[in-house]
């Protein structure tokens, strides 16, 4: 605190004495140095930031502030001037985030060649959500991504190492096969096929070996496509990681007994985009609505697995299906206590007791 006060007094004195801009920058930087490590926001939202050729440090600073990437344009300008970076800021397209600090942004802007697009593709998203994300947050064409994922069109990619795609049913989309993760692509010239290739590479390297190991160990007799279907449902149902193998076991028990899955997320998937909320997953959704949904994904009406995955499952959900918990549970429901956990039951009578406990708890 004492250092900050002294620096602030130096800044005021320098202003009164008519010192040079460099002196003022030093004084302002010293007065606010503790703020350099504080980002403008806590939410990690990628922002595409363009520096046009010939832009001055002051202009760049103000543009960063206008985009919400920094909270103090003057402090950013002071930082780059004092550290000799004002003339090193390069023209180009950069992928930045308001969670970055001023020094991090400054150094990122000194190397346009290293500028990257950071894509954070979430587990549990259906590919239409990924397409929307690309259109809204990146220079990549979300419409092209959606079309290719829907039709399974990979023209332009060497698919010789993706033999796992050949086991999909005829007409199947790429839902579930485009691995969710954080991907980084060059800011200049990146294409949708570049991203899809990275996703398929990740699937090949991470998921396929797990499935083959489980088959060899005898822990699953499901096809890869069937594994992804169940894993995608688990992904949408589970909140607590520890429950994923338990939930997987419930659905596999129901399949083994010839029961309908009665999985809410599959019906939500069939319902598709909700124009009133702008979301791809209807919430809340009620049992009374299910009768109106005519779809092979309505597992309240159709026995067995739906035709395909309903989202991009993460490795935890896939592992849970390959190594499910062995139990007699056939039912489960949310506890509703804010923990994200579920109550499990082996019989319908036990399930009804859990339902009653839930109602009384509310």
In tens, the pLDDT along 1-26 reads 444 444 444 444 444 444 455 667 88
- Residue 12 pLDDT: 42
Separation of alpha carbons 318 and 323, rounded Å:
9
- Residue 1 pLDDT: 45
Residues 288 and 324 in one domain: yes
Residues 125 and 107 in one domain: no
Domain span at residue 57 reads 39-74+83-114
pLDDT in tens, the chain (362 residues): 444 444 444 444 444 444 455 667 888 988 898 899 899 998 887 888 889 888 999 999 999 999 999 999 999 999 999 999 999 998 888 888 999 999 999 998 988 766 678 899 999 999 999 999 999 988 899 999 999 999 998 988 888 999 999 889 999 999 999 999 999 888 778 899 999 999 999 999 999 999 999 999 999 999 999 999 999 999 999 999 999 999 999 999 999 999 999 999 999 999 999 999 999 999 888 888 999 999 999 999 999 999 999 999 999 999 999 999 999 999 999 988 889 999 999 999 999 999 988 887 65
Separation of alpha carbons 302 and 141, rounded Å:
36
- Residue 146 pLDDT: 97
Separation of alpha carbons 106 and 61, rounded Å:
10
- Whether 282 maps to a domain, the answer reads yes
- Whether 293 maps to a domain, the answer reads yes
Q: What angle do CA 125, 129, 132 make, to 5 degrees?
A: 155
Residues 313 and 256 in one domain: yes
Q: What is the 3-state secondary structure (H, E, C) of the chain?
A: CHHHHHHHHHHHHHHHHCCCHHHHHHHHHHHCHHHHHCCCCCCCCCEEEEECCCCCHHHHHHHHHHCCCCCCHHHHHHHHHHCCCCCCCCCEEEEECCCCCHHHHHHHCCCHHHCEEEEECCCCCCHHHHHHHHHHHCCCCHHHHHHHHHHCCCCCCCCCCCHHHHHCCCCCCCCCCCCCCEEEEECCCCCHHHHHHHHHHHHHHHHHHHHHHHHHHCCCCCCHHHHHHHHHHHHHHCCCHHHHHHHHHHHHHHHHCCCCCCCHHHHHHHHCCECCCCECCCCCCCHHHHCCCCCCCCCCCCCCCCCCCCCCCCHHHHHHHHCCCCCCCCEEEECCCCCCCEEEECCHHHHHHHHHHHHHHC
Residues 61 and 93 in one domain: yes
Residues 208 and 306 in one domain: no
Which pair of tokens denotes residue 210? Answer: 């797990």
**Domain count along the chain:** 3
- Residue 2 pLDDT: 45
- Whether 12 maps to a domain, the answer reads no
Residues 258 and 230 in one domain: yes
- Whether 355 maps to a domain, the answer reads yes
Residues 25/82, Cβ–Cβ less than 8 Å: yes
Residues 6+ apart with CB under 8 A from 234: 244, 247, 248, 251, 313, 317, 320, 321
- Residue 284 pLDDT: 83
Residues 226 and 287 in one domain: yes
- Whether 17 maps to a domain, the answer reads no
Domain boundary among 189, 213, 237: 213
- Whether 280 maps to a domain, the answer reads yes
Domain boundary among 213, 229, 262: 213
Residues 329 and 243 in one domain: yes
Residues 50 and 153 in one domain: no
Residues 58 and 137 in one domain: no
- Residue 114 pLDDT: 61
- Whether 5 maps to a domain, the answer reads no
- Which CATH number fits the domain that encloses residue 102? 3.30.1490
Residues 244 and 346 in one domain: yes
- Whether 137 maps to a domain, the answer reads yes
Which pair of tokens denotes residue 42? Answer: 């806590």
């Amino acid at each position: 605190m004492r250092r900050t006060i002294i620096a602030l007094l130096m800044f005021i004195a320098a202003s009164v004495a008519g010192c040079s801009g460099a002196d003022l920058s030093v004084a302002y930087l010293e007065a606010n140095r503790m703020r350099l490590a504080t980002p403008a926001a806590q939410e990690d939202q990628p922002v595409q930031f363009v520096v046009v050729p010939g832009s001055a440090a002051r202009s760049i600073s103000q543009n960063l502030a206008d985009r919400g990437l920094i909270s103090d344009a003057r402090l950013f300008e002071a930082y780059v001037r004092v550290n000799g970076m004002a003339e090193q800021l390069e023209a180009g397209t950069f992928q930045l985030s308001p969670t970055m600090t001023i020094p991090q942004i400054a150094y990122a802007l000194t190397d346009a060649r290293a500028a990257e697009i950071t894509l954070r593709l979430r587990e549990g998203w259906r590919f239409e959500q990924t397409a929307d994300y690309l259109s809204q947050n990146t220079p990549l064409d979300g419409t092209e991504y959606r079309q290719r994922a829907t039709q399974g069109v990979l023209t332009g990619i060497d698919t010789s190492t993706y033999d796992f795609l050949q086991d999909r049913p005829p007409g199947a989309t790429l839902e579930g096969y485009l691995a969710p993760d954080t991907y980084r692509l060059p800011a200049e010239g990146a294409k949708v096929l570049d991203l899809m290739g990275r996703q398929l590479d990740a699937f090949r390297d991470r998921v396929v070996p797990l499935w083959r190991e489980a088959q060899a160990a005898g822990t699953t007799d499901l096809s890869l496509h069937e594994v992804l279907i169940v894993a995608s449902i688990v992904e949408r149902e589970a909140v607590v990681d520890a429950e994923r193998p338990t939930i997987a076991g419930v659905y596999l028990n129901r399949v083994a007994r010839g029961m309908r899955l009665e999985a809410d997320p599959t019906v939500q998937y069939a319902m598709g985009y909700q124009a009133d909320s702008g979301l791809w997953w209807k919430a809340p959704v009620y049992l009374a609505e299910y009768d109106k949904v005519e779809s092979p994904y309505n597992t309240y009406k159709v026995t067995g697995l739906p035709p395909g995955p309903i989202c991009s499952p993460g490795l935890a959900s896939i592992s849970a299906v390959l190594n499910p918990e062995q139990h007699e549970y056939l039912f489960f429901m949310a506890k509703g206590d804010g923990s994200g956990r579920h109550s499990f039951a082996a019989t319908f009578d036990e399930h009804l007791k859990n339902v009653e406990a839930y109602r009384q708890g509310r």
